[in-house]
Amino acid sequence: MIGNSLTGGTSLGFFGRLKNSLFGVLVGLLFVPGAVALLGWNEYRTVQRSRGLAEAAGLIQSIPDIQQPAPQLNNSLVHLSGMARADGELRDVDFQVVSKGLRLQRQVELFQWHEETESAKQSNSSRGEKREVRYEQKWSRKPIDSSKFKQPEQHRNPAPRYREQTYDASKIQVGVYELSDSLKSAISNWTDIALDIDSIMLALPEEQWEHFSGDANQLYYSTTGGSPNSPQVGDLRIKFTECLPTDVSVAANLQGGRLEDFRTSNGQSIERLFMGQMSAADIMDRLVTENTIVAWGIRFGGTFLCVVGFTLILGPISAMTSFIPILGRLTSGLVFLAAVLMSVVLCSMTIAIAWIAVRPVLGGSLLVVSGIGVFLLFRLRAANTPSSLPQAMGQ
């Protein structure tokens, strides 16, 4: 992390927090049904993808010799492995950097302002919550629109003079078979290109020379007199990488001499390239594993979204008790626990209903989990009835 930072803050009192919590209820009422819809869609997607992959595993055929055409496999799902190659060269149009590889990429880092907002609860509950806005200068590859900052005038990020660019060979082949654009973009054996700084400078317009310098194996660009050791906002670090010919494995539809997207009977897309040598069975196993990872990732994400939604919906309860430190912390903890339990119940039921028609055992198991969650919710409610609260506070 390089650069300086500025900090500003505001404090939210009791009524400010209550107002925000009421707005949070509206947001929560969108998050919860959104999470349910996301989980329902994910289960449908997972089932469809699983069926499509099972069908593809039974259809895929390996091309025995990638140096020979296989017209008998036209319009079929095929597998092949071999060296990906391309003819000719790739050239960056601005800096005249040349690669004889498959892909060429210009990577650009910008030195720019970053805005970060932090919230911290005050020990004095009457002062509420303090929100700090911090501004720091750091390197990053993604341009940041400073017009959306809370303090844009003092923290302006200029538009970068040069942006990232990727060049792909017009024709990349594995044996006699040409890769589609989608398959080409999956090649990812990036390695740095050793730059000849003097040659690059000669390729640039003379009026630009004063803005460039060499920094290890990259170019440094500045319009304000910055240097690698003392960067200024708007400065750039530019380097180049390439993908050289390499072994790849592909599963795709054979269309004449070109490998393209294959669609299963239920519309699932099979068009994948992996680095290295892999058998057809290995590729299909990899796709099944990816489907499982995506499914569980969305399940956890949907559940988290649901927890956030229920926490926001119950937020006014925490806000109304926050002026009493001990009671406020106790209430916040109970609200969060209730939000987690309600989310587990709702999300488990959503997944169970989606799966019960195709996998009764899994669906039934999830319904059992939902039932346990409902039981715990009732126990939590019983433990916090008015008659039991005095006893709990007296302990």
- 150-158, long-range: CB within 8 Å, 24+ apart, which pairs? 150/8, 150/115, 151/6, 151/8, 154/6, 155/6, 155/113, 155/115, 156/113, 156/233, 157/110, 157/112, 157/113, 157/233, 157/234, 158/233, 158/234
DSSP state of 4: -
CB 184 within 8 A of CB 103: yes
Q: How many CA within 13 A on the CB side of residue 6? A: 11
Sort strands 218-221 and 5-12 into parallel, antiparallel or unpaired. unpaired
pLDDT in tens, 109-164: 999 999 988 765 554 444 455 668 899 999 999 999 999 998 988 899 999 999 99
Count of beta carbons in the 10 Å neighbourhood of residue 99: 21
Task: Give which of 292, 272, 376 is closest to 334, Cα–Cα.
Answer: 376
Calculate ∠ Cα 292-41-371, nearest 5°.
80
Q: Tell whether the model's pLDDT for residue 222 goes beyond 90.
A: yes
d(CA 82, CA 77): 17
pLDDT band at 320 (very low <50, low <70, confident <90, very high): low
d(CA 299, CA 128): 35
Query: What are the CA-CA distances from residue 68 to residues 71, 73, 86, 187, 277 (Å)?
Result: 10, 12, 18, 23, 19
| Chain position carrying tokens 């906002």 | 233
Q: What is the pLDDT of residue 172?
A: 97
Q: What is the pLDDT of residue 363?
A: 57
pLDDT band at 314 (very low <50, low <70, confident <90, very high): confident
Mean pLDDT over the full length of the chain: 84
Sign of CA dihedral 69, 70, 73, 76: negative
pLDDT in tens, 19-39: 666 677 788 889 899 999 999
Count of beta carbons in the 10 Å neighbourhood of residue 214: 15
Average pLDDT on 342-359 reads 76
Q: What is the pLDDT of residue 389?
A: 42
Task: Give which of 46, 62, 8, 349 is closest to 177, Cα–Cα.
Answer: 62
Q: Tell whether the model's pLDDT for residue 391 goes beyond 60.
A: no
**φ, ψ (nearest 5 deg) of residue 349:** -65, -40
Q: What is the pLDDT of residue 5?
A: 47
pLDDT in tens, 162-184: 999 999 999 999 999 999 999 99
pLDDT in tens, 84-104: 999 999 999 999 999 999 999
Q: What is the pLDDT of residue 336?
A: 82
DSSP state of 100: -
d(CA 366, CA 356): 9
pLDDT in tens, 194-210: 999 989 988 898 888 89
Phi/psi class of residue 366: alpha, beta or left (left: φ > 0; alpha: ψ in -120 to 50)? alpha
Q: Which has the higher per-residue pLDDT, 67 or 118? A: 67
Of 120-124, 148-152, 263-267, 304-308, the least confident: 120-124
pLDDT band at 318 (very low <50, low <70, confident <90, very high): low
Q: Tell whether the model's pLDDT for residue 3 goes beyond 50.
A: no
pLDDT band at 392 (very low <50, low <70, confident <90, very high): very low
Task: Give which of 218, 201, 183 is closest to 95, Cα–Cα.
Answer: 201
